[in-house]
Structure 1
Amino acid sequence: MAAVSVDPQRPLPVLLVSVSLGIYEDEHHRVWIAVNVETSHSSHGNRIETCVTVHLQHMTTLPQEPTPQQPINNNSLPTMWRLESRNTYTGTDGTYWRLLDHSQMGDTVQLTLDIIIGEDD
């Protein structure tokens, strides 16, 4: 498992609630945008795994128009995430998302979460 990069100067959001497709608001009314959603597939014997990684960025203002970095399809994201432990968020759909990164570069704060979904053939 990869090490989690956490910026101790900025607390993690406890709640992220969807206010629009791909746009979330935390408990402090800060806006987070899903700027990238990556999906990959792998197989292990007769088990197929799908990994979904979402990159959220804290924005001080909402973009007026979609930017090229915004995902085209983020229907796989829950309508709300709740911080359960130091490195795990739970989605409203009952899924557990692992915190991969919480960092800041300049004015941009990033939160990266992933989930691995396994299915048997």
Structure 2
Amino acid sequence: MALLQILEFPDPRLRTRAVPVDQVTERIQTLIDDMFETMYTAPGIGLAASQVDVHERIIVMDLSDDHSAPRVFINPEIKVIDEDLGSYDEGCLSVPGFYETVQRPKVIAVKAL
């Protein structure tokens, strides 16, 4: 596995539209492994492929304290289930040191490969 460079704001590559993944190849699996290593080392709880300058629709995340719940979302589609909003403190590995309280739907469904 390899540590990947995380792009930081205001790098214009962060605005590049990601394309769908057609199939999970060995290259994609290696990318996912490298993204997890990069995210855990940063440290963070989520990382999109675009943040490491790979503009494909892949997100990795792990909300556990002990790295025991890794999740991969390929070509994710989000559907709001409940319109009620909750406030959450969030940060971003591409904007180090910046945190903000954001409003997000409390219940969503995610469809992905």
Query: TM-score with structure 1 length normalisation?
Result: 0.26
Say which structure is richer in strand: 1
Higher RCO structure, 1 or 2 (CA under 8 Å, sep 6+): 1
Query: TM-score with structure 2 length normalisation?
Result: 0.28
Say which structure is richer in helix: 2
